[in-house]
Structure 1
Amino acid sequence: MTAMTRRGFLAAAGALAATAATGGCALGGGSGSGSSTGGGGGDAANAGSLTWWDHQNQLQKAKAAIFADFAKSPGGMPVQYTYYNPGKMGQALQLAKQSNQMPDIHSNAGLTLPAGALVAAGWAQPINLTDQAKARVEDSLIEGLHVFDGKIYAFPIFSHQVYVAASWFNKELVSQAGLDPQAPPRTYDEFRAAARAVQDKGGGQTYGWVWNVGMPNRMAEQVHDLAQAAGFEGGIGLRYATGEYAFHADEYLDVIEFLVSLRKDKLLVPGANSWVDDVARARWTAGVAAYYFDGPWCPGVALQATPDFADKLDVGPILVPNAGDTVATYHVPQPGEYWLSPGSKQTEAANKLLSEHFVTEDYSRRVAETMSQPPRDISVVDQSSAHAAYKKLIGWFKESVHLAPMPIAGNKELRHVDVEQKPVQPTLGDIIQGALTGDVTDVRAALTKLSSDTAKQRDLAIAAAKAKGAKVSLDDYAFPNWKPRTDYTTSMYAER
């Protein structure tokens, strides 16, 4: 870990191991390493600078320009930036917190607890945005997600109009297989046939599909989106209208069975069982496979390492089961991205940096041009210099992604439930990974148990929160006035 001393790292690692052994730690999965433009950790060694850690690989260039300007501005200072792969970010933060070497500002990737629980556990302090900055973001702030006890802790930088399971592909390999790059596969059967055609033409050198099977959390996010596109009327396993958990719904089972069928048909690159996204994406750009499921950040990351791949890169929409199905997916309001650590000695500079540079239309434009998730101001994408495939995908998002209801937006008291709720194991990502590796043979049984266990854990958390005075109930998770293919607007919370 570049961001702490060896002594601090060893002490933190020992404490973390002891905590994890008693089940008290929420660590991120996957693999990867940190890379840094300077030191990290808010210790004396960095007293003259502000430290920042996050997992946003594709935004590094945009932030580097901002940090350079900030260092030269009145009241500014140098920013020591460290990037972590999403699979390692949570562990790095855990170790830093244990040794009191947290960065001044950080993202929360890999920390499995919700924002309310992290705030309650002392992971963040309020930020003090200027009045002008607050006015720019106040319409996207939600009590219990960004605001706690009336104080702002974070703000979103991305639009809710996004899904993370687009079908990115190599146009050159697709064309060589006799397929039309202008007509990418849209259904499961079309995708299987296209992947097979590429693989047959590749003569054993090219596979149809590669995926980040070594990243359970990312796979779960993608299967949630694929299940919605298949018709599941809810999100993250929860039916919007009734508030019931239904990971075992046919839509989830169909998606997982489709993915497993690709592996059984030997269309998945061998060795992918342990690959995180950085590895799988690099293999894809190297021509090992034609297709790769990923989010909108795919070109922003891929073209950093292999800019010549730009001419080969293209994208298809999220897949649906049958021809004629129209894509509809749903996404809750975006969480806050940047959090201020309680032990920061640079709060004044941190608040200035966040207020003056990260809530502006200019930052949304920078986000678009780095081809990350679509920026909070999604209207700037068309005027950006982003790759044509990225712009095409964002256009599909505008047409097919709707604002979903979010329980905590309807009752901020649910943050007390979040604090009480314990993670359920195995997770959806674990089940997907097990199905792909052959370790899980009865997928429906595993999904049914996940639904039951998650519901029981929620019941226990609600009871614990109520015992401490929280005004919450199961009804807070149901939205009977929700309708498919529409946005769930703020006024609808009071109308249900």
Structure 2
Amino acid sequence: MSSPGDLSLSRRALLRLAGIGGSSMLLTACGGFGRSTPANNNSSGAATAPNATTTTSTSSGATTTTAATSGTPAASGSSAVNWNIVDTGAQLPSSQVTLRWMDSGDVKANFFKAFFPAYTTRHPNIQVQYDGTNWNEITQVVTLGFRNGTAPDVFQLPPTITAAQAEANGWIGALDDIVPNWADVKGRFPAGMFAAGVTDFGGKTYGYPFTSNKRINNLLLYNQDHLQQAGYDPSSKPLTWDEFRAACKKCTDQGAGKYYGLIIGIAQSGQLTGFIDTLAEMAGAHGGVIPVGSNGGEFNHLTGQFNFTSDEFVSAVELLLAIKSDGSIFPGSVSLDAPGARGRMPQGLAAMILQGPWNIPIWTTASADFHLGVSLAPQKDPNHIWPLTYGPGGSNTWYYASSTQLGSVVGDMFAYLGTVDGQTAWAHFDPAGDPAAFPEALAKAQLDPLSAKAAKLAADYTRLRPDPSVKNPDVFKVFEAFQQPTPNYNDTLVGLFTGDLQDVKQTMTSLQDRMNAALDDAIKTAQSRGAKVSRDDFVFSDWDPSQDYTSLYRK
């Protein structure tokens, strides 16, 4: 097994970018599990691309973009994208048509608000109604649309519907049937982007994850001015756990009530779990999140057991509680959701937060007085850093409705998004929050320095992990049968933070026992429903956590 200390920040590693998002990475953002989920759409807002579109708001709050309003390349900063939308051979309609595209918006909306007008310039009879909205709206519109045949042509699945369910009910169509030369397009993507039981069913591909999961959702994002005044500079080397605690205290003291050392959006489920997962995994608690319950569970695929009693996890929780006992955490953090917490960073109200790269383009334009810094999360031993892990699939996955009459248009667009040109254009508008899947696209794109650093850290400190549901698709029946114990992982951490629960080791042991028992019960339930599955399906004894586990995802 190679040493974790060999994970250097090399440019060569950046060019290896493939696949994308750590267990702690995905979980932080509201609960992803190496799948495309609402977890990965965390930005509190998005700067729109100039000259891109005419945008209006629907009654539900969705952003509707009509793509026929601009024929000029949309700009981002000082440079513009030269759209190279070539003829794919798709038999496009000749009449006037409007494609409906719905997703969760945020930073990625910047790309679509520029791409759709460019596409309409190339094909003037094809307009696009783009609805970048919230997950409640997606759940309502898509779920109802499946029932009455009014689903958007392209969409992200609601968190209440799995891809397996959508495919089994005939609600989504196969990319093989609409994307010209689909085998060639699919073959351009890195290993782990497509996987049986995740994007593929019955030998065909239904989900299109054209953005990568290889990102770190819990970077240390910090106010340079506050930390420099306190005597700390994590720009070249991450803080140790002891330095992190001391820096939180020093910043709080110098802030004198005007700002605090650390802020966390504890009221949003998944924020504390992601915080702890990141610290523990990088300290050596090998594992990753599996989708059991609303917050998943930090799981060691080497042993097939949950990870909560490891020294790394217990120590990470104790560190958090020590920072709290110092009075270094922003007051009211228990009542803040993730947007509420991160929205206070550009205001200078906190020195540090563990959050994701989607904040970078927003914060760097929010205030000229705010100087953002980006680093790895604090490390128990900076000389022995283990990588975070991520599962198969992308940071976002799009589907098309099987009922669409515009499959050729969808296929034509999807084909473009699977080219180096399309991926490079994506990286131009959404450089680090939802990274482009192609390493060469990231290399070609002119990323801002902080986004480039976030991408480089992700390249060097994330690895593709095994997934039991790819090993045995019947594992999905276990996930469906799983009954989350009470209190769950997130609630346990909140209870420890508030003092309602005492004794970290005992509490985490109790949590681990409950989670293992619940998994055993779910396996028995799945078996009673015909699943051929056992606890052995969750064990990967050949896994080296310092390396990408690619053998499971060979093309």
TM tier relative to shorter chain: 0.7 to 0.9
Question: Within 2, Cα distance between the matches of 1:134 and 1:323?
Answer: 38
Report the residue type matching 2:368 in the other structure. D
> 1:165 and 2:184 equivalent?
no
What is the CA distance between 1:229 and its match in structure 2? Answer: 0.7
Gap change, CA 1:62 and 1:39, over 3 Å in 2? closer
What's the counterpart of residue 262 of structure 2? 209
> 1:456 and 2:509 equivalent?
no
- Normalization by structure 1: what TM-score? 0.80
Question: Within 2, Cα distance between the matches of 1:90 and 1:340?
Answer: 15
What is the CA distance between 1:277 and its match in structure 2? Answer: 2.5
Question: Within 1, Cα distance between the matches of 2:136 and 2:247?
Answer: 31
Equivalent residues of 1:52, 1:81 under 8 A apart: yes
> 1:174 and 2:233 equivalent?
no
What's the counterpart of residue 164 of structure 2? 116
> 1:62 and 2:111 equivalent?
yes
2:131 match: secondary structure: strand
1:221 match: secondary structure: helix
1:226 match: secondary structure: helix
Question: Within 1, Cα distance between the matches of 2:313 and 2:149?
Answer: 42
RMSD of aligned residue pairs (Cα, Å): 3.5
Gap change, CA 1:281 and 1:75, over 3 Å in 2? same
- 1:59-81 residue CA offsets vs partner (Å, 9 max, x unmatched): 11111111112333438633222
What's the counterpart of residue 179 of structure 2? 129
What is the CA distance between 1:407 and its match in structure 2? Answer: 1.3
| Gapped regions of structure 2 (runs ≥ 5) | 1-36, 46-59, 67-95, 290-297
- 1:311-342 residue CA offsets vs partner (Å, 9 max, x unmatched): 71111112222453324222222346112245
Question: Within 2, Cα distance between the matches of 1:92 and 1:191?
Answer: 44
- 1:169-201 residue CA offsets vs partner (Å, 9 max, x unmatched): 111222233433645642221111112222222
Equivalent residues of 1:295, 1:373 under 8 A apart: no
What's the counterpart of residue 324 of structure 1? 383
Gap change, CA 1:31 and 1:316, over 3 Å in 2? closer
Identical aligned residues as a percent = 25
What's the counterpart of residue 397 of structure 2? 337
Match of 1:350 among 410, 413, 417: 410
Report the residue type matching 1:143 in the other structure. A
What's the counterpart of residue 36 of structure 1? 62
Report the residue type matching 2:164 in the other structure. G
- 1:228-247 residue CA offsets vs partner (Å, 9 max, x unmatched): 11211111221111212233
Gap change, CA 1:36 and 1:112, over 3 Å in 2? closer
Question: Within 2, Cα distance between the matches of 1:168 and 1:294?
Answer: 7
1:247 match: secondary structure: coil
Equivalent residues of 2:389, 2:463 under 8 A apart: yes
What's the counterpart of residue 290 of structure 1? 351
> 1:360 and 2:410 equivalent?
no
The number of residues matched between the two structures is 458
- 1:436-459 residue CA offsets vs partner (Å, 9 max, x unmatched): 333443554554344334333433
Question: Within 1, Cα distance between the matches of 2:502 and 2:399?
Answer: 41
Equivalent residues of 2:111, 2:426 under 8 A apart: yes
Equivalent residues of 1:125, 1:340 under 8 A apart: yes
1:157 match: secondary structure: strand
Question: Within 1, Cα distance between the matches of 2:367 and 2:43?
Answer: 24
Report the residue type matching 1:205 in the other structure. K
Q: Which moved more, 1:335-344 or 1:170-179?
A: 335-344
> 1:300 and 2:355 equivalent?
no
Gap change, CA 1:101 and 1:199, over 3 Å in 2? farther
What is the CA distance between 1:94 and its match in structure 2? Answer: 5.6
Report the residue type matching 1:191 in the other structure. F
Equivalent residues of 1:160, 1:334 under 8 A apart: yes
Question: Within 2, Cα distance between the matches of 1:423 and 1:373?
Answer: 29
Question: Within 2, Cα distance between the matches of 1:62 and 1:296?
Answer: 16
Equivalent residues of 2:239, 2:378 under 8 A apart: yes
Equivalent residues of 1:431, 1:443 under 8 A apart: no
Report the residue type matching 2:221 in the other structure. W
Match of 1:472 among 533, 536, 542: 533
Report the residue type matching 2:346 in the other structure. T
Question: Within 2, Cα distance between the matches of 1:430 and 1:200?
Answer: 30
| Paired residues for 1:193-208 under 5 Å | 193-208=246-261
Equivalent residues of 1:408, 1:415 under 8 A apart: yes
What is the CA distance between 1:221 and its match in structure 2? Answer: 3.4
More helix by share: 1
2:211 match: secondary structure: coil
Question: Within 2, Cα distance between the matches of 1:201 and 1:90?
Answer: 45
Q: Which moved more, 1:312-321 or 1:364-373?
A: 364-373
What's the counterpart of residue 204 of structure 2? 151
2:478 match: secondary structure: helix
Match of 2:302 among 241, 244, 250: 241
- 1:90-140 residue CA offsets vs partner (Å, 9 max, x unmatched): 57756776787543322246x166543454466644333221433334853
> 1:431 and 2:492 equivalent?
yes
What is the CA distance between 1:284 and its match in structure 2? Answer: 0.3
| Gapped regions of structure 1 (runs ≥ 5) | 1-25, 41-46
What's the counterpart of residue 225 of structure 1? 278
> 1:271 and 2:319 equivalent?
no
- 1:353-393 residue CA offsets vs partner (Å, 9 max, x unmatched): 2232x222233323433232332113433443322122123
What is the CA distance between 1:218 and its match in structure 2? Answer: 4.1
Question: Within 2, Cα distance between the matches of 1:446 and 1:112?
Answer: 30
What's the counterpart of residue 57 of structure 2? none
Equivalent residues of 1:199, 1:208 under 8 A apart: yes
Equivalent residues of 1:158, 1:376 under 8 A apart: yes
Equivalent residues of 1:160, 1:403 under 8 A apart: no
Gap change, CA 1:366 and 1:426, over 3 Å in 2? farther
Equivalent residues of 1:35, 1:82 under 8 A apart: no
> 1:83 and 2:83 equivalent?
no
What is the CA distance between 1:485 and its match in structure 2? Answer: 1.2
What is the CA distance between 1:31 and its match in structure 2? Answer: 13
Gap change, CA 1:437 and 1:160, over 3 Å in 2? same
